[in-house]
Structure formats: C-alpha cells, structure tokens
Amino acid sequence: MAYWLFKTEPDTFSIDTLKQQKVSCWEGVRNYQARNMMRDEVKVGDQVFIYHSSCKDVGVVGIATVVREAYPDHFQFEPDGLSFDPKSDPDNPRWVMVDIEYQRHLRLVSLKRIKANPALAEMPLAKRGNRLSIMPVTETQWNEILQMTGQF
C-alpha cells in the first residue's frame, strides 16, 4: 500500500462532495508527471489525503481509498468539456483517472502548519514551486499529518 495526496479546488470538487458521492472518479489531471504517477503507481488500496487548494482554508481535509486503478479519462474526448484534449486519440488515450472512495473527514491540517513542521520538510508539498495535483506521501509523513489532526 502506498500513500498519496490529491489536490482539489473545493469550489469544483470538495471532500463534502466525495462524502456525498461515496465513490468518485478522480479526473481532469492534465500534467504528464501527475498522470504518470496515477497511471503507473497508484494502486487499489492506496490511501489518499484529500487536499483543498485555491481556497480560504488550504490544507489536508480528509482521507479516501483508491478503489479502481487508472483507466482512460473520458472527459478528454468531450469537445464542450473543460478537460477536452483535441490531441488525445481514443485508440491511445493521453489522460487517465482513478476511482476513490470516501473514508473520513479530518480536522484541517493547513499548508502553513505542514511547511512549519520539520518532519515534513522533504514532503513535495512543503517544497517551493511544487504545484502537482497528485504527489506521493511517505508512511512517516502520512502518520505525522494524522498526528497533526489531533484525532489519532
């Protein structure tokens, strides 16, 4: 089992939306490095921190579990959609998505607190200039963030 952090803008898709849907595809990833991780490394059973970005309360807000490995992101073929990619070929799709299942909400662990924690200094999220929407989390980092919620 591996650990991940998936970023989302809560105005578009929030932890509350995931809780309501129970299971959802994680689509719209349009960065090759993030796509490659999702395609090649994200596996069923992996644990995922849901991270709200581009909002008032930026940070880790919940946990999900991967329930389906990478498959073609059908939104890349919808001409009127925000994730349309005219260069993607249905016979060789460029973009993929995975399915995740809601597990629970967490007390917010803000980006500010993550960056201030020396135990998380090597976490990609804490490093300057890292804007990937999907990033790996080590087991030690995972446990540290869980401890920071005060719920464990």
Q: Give the tens place of pLDDT for each residue, 55-89.
A: 999 999 999 999 999 999 999 999 999 899 999 99
CA atoms within 13 A on the CB side of 103: 16
134: DSSP letter:
E
Whole-number pLDDT of residue 65 = 98
pLDDT at position 152, please?
Answer: 74
* CA atoms of 15 and 60, how far apart (whole Å): 10
Neighbours of 146 (CB within 10 A): 16
**Which residues does the chain have with pLDDT short of 50?**
none
Look at residue 109 in the predicted model and tell me its pLDDT: 98
Residue 102 identity: Y
Give the sign of the dihedral formed by CA 74, CA 75, CA 78, CA 79.
Answer: negative
Output the DSSP codes for 40-106.
HT--TT-EEEEEE-SSSS-EEEEEEEEEEEEEE-GGGG-TTSTT--TT-BTTB-S-EEEEEEEEEEE
Model pLDDT, residue 64 = 98
Q: What pLDDT was estimated at residue 102?
A: 98
Q: What pLDDT sits at residue 61?
A: 98
pLDDT of residue 128: 84
